[in-house]
Amino acid sequence: MILSAAHTVPYHIPLTTPFATATGEVGVRSGWIVQIEDEAGRVGQGEWAPLPGWSPDVTQDGARAVQDALDLLRVAAQSTEMDALIKQIPGMFPGRPAMIFALETALLDLAAQASRQPLFRRLNAHAPAKVSLNAVLPLGELKQTVETAARRVGEGYRTLKLKIRGPDDEALLAALRARLGAEVALRLDANGAWDLPTAMAVMRQFEPYGIAYVEQPLPPGDDQALAELRREVGIAVAADESVSDMTSVKQLLEQEAMDVIILKPMIQGGLRACMEMARLAADADVLVVITTTLDTVVGRVAAAHLAAACGTLDLAHGLATGGFLAHDLAPDPLVVSGGVAELPVAPGLAISRIEG
């Protein structure tokens, strides 16, 4: 396969509501769609959108960073077969996981189109064509949050995720359980806000509410403390910000510091790296949840293909985030019904070409 052209499409999309992260609020999502074209006119697309505070490859001159990467890729492609080129991407861009995700996704999209396969089947020939989703609840006034939760459950979602601040949120959990019953799974995200004594106290306080897991209860960097917390409380512990690369995954597994691993391909460096991390986690009986960094349709659908290739239908993934964007770049090819997304069986990502 010969790569004949490469393009970028910049975007700046406001969020409908500012979204809280471990380092503050995100009000606008900005990035570039990378488009790589082959000699047959096929176009593979990927998304480069490092998230400030999360991604190590945030740079002031993003346009130059993307163009330099594409120039390097063109040179490498002249003497390298496609599968080999895809495998070389991480080594070409060390320490730049969002760039790896963008270029690898675009090349995998192209390769899957050339082989007439949906991307998830190119990643895993036995992958199901569906993934379950959790609904994300913005943290707001109690009554409004409960009403939003009830609406999402009415739409078919059986797993809800919400940001949590501390012991004062017990009233919200009690109201949610009173309204929704015990069958709906509740996932909580602390964004690394607590120290160990606080986390132990709060999670013990929340045990009566049947919490599926608490995501990143402690700041990243102390796997031993996370392991101690996991041993001492009755709620499962999920690692998110603690997961940065393969080394961090192996350390978390060695310390037995997590029940669940949260994988974001924009943060962990692409689809293939996340698949390997997921394999290691599954071998250790750690559950794998795939999610995004508030990506556009390109990054979000790529993550859905990854979830299908990695997981089972009975575990909900954090991919229902398109509604946080004021608008998107192209129609979403995922068909969502009853909290389940059906992936397109058209070749590649099945996303129409995004115009600048």
Instruction: Check pLDDT > 80 for residue 166.
Output: yes
CA distance 30 to 75: 27
CA distance 49 to 298: 11
Nearest to 237 by CA among 206, 266, 264: 206
pLDDT at 52: 82
pLDDT at 66: 86
Half-sphere exposure of 123 (CA within 13 A, CB side): 32
CB-CB contact of 159 with 135 (8 Å) = yes
pLDDT at 347: 97
Band the pLDDT of 226: cuts 50, 70, 90. Answer: very high
Q: Which helix (H) or strand (E) holds 341?
A: strand 340-342
pLDDT at 313: 76
Nearest to 292 by CA among 272, 266, 260, 273: 266
pLDDT at 50: 92
The residue annotated as part of the active site, out of 130, 143, 161, 163, is 163
Domain 3-116 shares a fold with domain 122-342:
no
- Residue corresponding to tokens 């998304």: 47
CA distance 217 to 236: 11
Q: In what order do the strands lie in the sheet with 3-21?
A: 3-21, 24-38, 43-48
CB-CB contact of 149 with 178 (8 Å) = no
Interacting residues of 75 by C-beta distance below 8 A, sequence separation 6+ = none
- Residue 12, helix vs strand vs coil: strand
Lowest model confidence (mean pLDDT) among 70-84, 137-151, 283-297, 302-316 = 70-84
Exposed e or buried b per residue across 322-332, where buried means at least 16 C-beta atoms within 10 angstroms of its C-beta = bebbeebbbeb
What is the pLDDT of the chain when averaged over all its residues?
93
Band the pLDDT of 21: cuts 50, 70, 90. Answer: low
Residues recorded for the chain: 356
In CATH terms, the superfamily for domain 122-342 is: Enolase-like C-terminal domain (3.20.20.120)
pLDDT at 79: 77
pLDDT at 1: 65
Residue 264 is among the residues annotated as catalytic for this protein: yes
CB-CB contact of 84 with 31 (8 Å) = no
pLDDT at 200: 97
pLDDT at 20: 65
- Residue corresponding to tokens 């996932």: 187
Question: Using alpha carbons only, what angle is made at residue 209 by residues 208 and 214, rounded to the nearest 5 degrees?
Answer: 105
Instruction: Check pLDDT > 70 for residue 102.
Output: yes
Domain ranges of the chain: 3-116, 122-342
Region 206-212 average pLDDT = 97
Lowest model confidence (mean pLDDT) among 52-61, 67-76, 116-125, 214-223 = 52-61
- Residue 13 φ then ψ, to 5°: -125, 120
CA distance 302 to 293: 12
Instruction: Check pLDDT > 70 for residue 23.
Output: no
* 184: Cα separation from own chain's centroid: 22
Nearest to 300 by CA among 105, 115, 125: 105
Q: Which residues pair with 342 in a beta bridge?
A: 130, 335
Region 30-41 average pLDDT = 93
Region 190-206 average pLDDT = 96
Q: Which two tokens stand for residue 161?
A: 């995720």
Record the pTM: 0.94
Region 92-96 average pLDDT = 92
Q: Is 172 left (phi over 0), alpha (psi -120 to 50) or beta?
A: alpha
Q: Is 294 left (phi over 0), alpha (psi -120 to 50) or beta?
A: left
Q: Give pLDDT tens digits for 49-93.
A: 998 877 888 877 788 888 888 888 888 888 788 899 999 999 999
Residue 161 is among the residues annotated as catalytic for this protein: no
In CATH terms, the superfamily for domain 3-116 is: Enolase-like, N-terminal domain (3.30.390.10)
- Residue 24, helix vs strand vs coil: strand
* 277: Cα separation from own chain's centroid: 13
Region 92-110 average pLDDT = 95
* 143: Cα separation from own chain's centroid: 28
Instruction: Check pLDDT > 70 for residue 156.
Output: yes
pLDDT at 53: 77
